[in-house]
Amino acid sequence: MNPTDTLTTLFSHHLWANLRLLDQCAGLTSEQLAASIPGARGSIQETLEHITRAEQSYFSRISTGQPFPHPEDAPPMTIADMIESLRTTGEGLIEWASKVQAGDTVMLDWDGTPREVPKTIILTQVINHATEHREQVKATLTEMGIEPLDLQSWSYFDKLDQGT
């Protein structure tokens, strides 16, 4: 498999990196999932769930223009729930990224004020947001003495080049 177009490659790497990190974290104990370090968003579990719920929201805005209905009293997500959700939204983003045109916008509540935001900005946020928080999880793993996986695009390309 070779990279096809720019957006497909960017969002395919994004999905690959999210799923690899979740696969690694699936082997952690409850205590390890509860670990956090200064500067991180929260515990590993909280950060992974934050990535997942944010991506649900971003994808909903891109695909429907509507916010994702997050129930306030929803129980914490399991790693399996997060993997399933990120697989769905990741595949959806791969499909939708090339459909978004420069002039496409969505109405967001921006600190209490309705504001039209280009969907291209939301797509940019998808990539940047997850990358930032994946690095926080990796730093927490490192602090615990666990070698995090290499999620760089170079490693992704190696996997593509090897056909795996």
Buried b (16+ CB within 10 A) or exposed e, 99-109: ebeeeeebebe
Distances (CA, A) of 129 to 2, 36, 113, 116, 156: 26, 18, 22, 20, 19
pTM: 0.92
CB 135 within 8 A of CB 44: no
H or E stretch covering 108: strand 105-110
**pLDDT tens profile 8-65:** 999 999 999 999 999 999 999 999 999 999 999 999 999 999 999 999 999 999 999 9
Q: How confident is the model at residue 162 (pLDDT cuts 50, 70, 90)?
A: confident
CATH topology of domain 6-162: Four Helix Bundle (Hemerythrin (Met), subunit A) (1.20.120)
- The first and second tokens of residue 124, run together, are 């940019």
- Tokens 């940019």 belong to residue: 124
- The first and second tokens of residue 121, run together, are 């900005």
**pLDDT tens profile 63-81:** 999 989 888 888 999 999 9
The domain locations on the chain are 6-162
**pLDDT tens profile 116-152:** 999 999 999 999 999 999 999 999 999 999 999 999 9
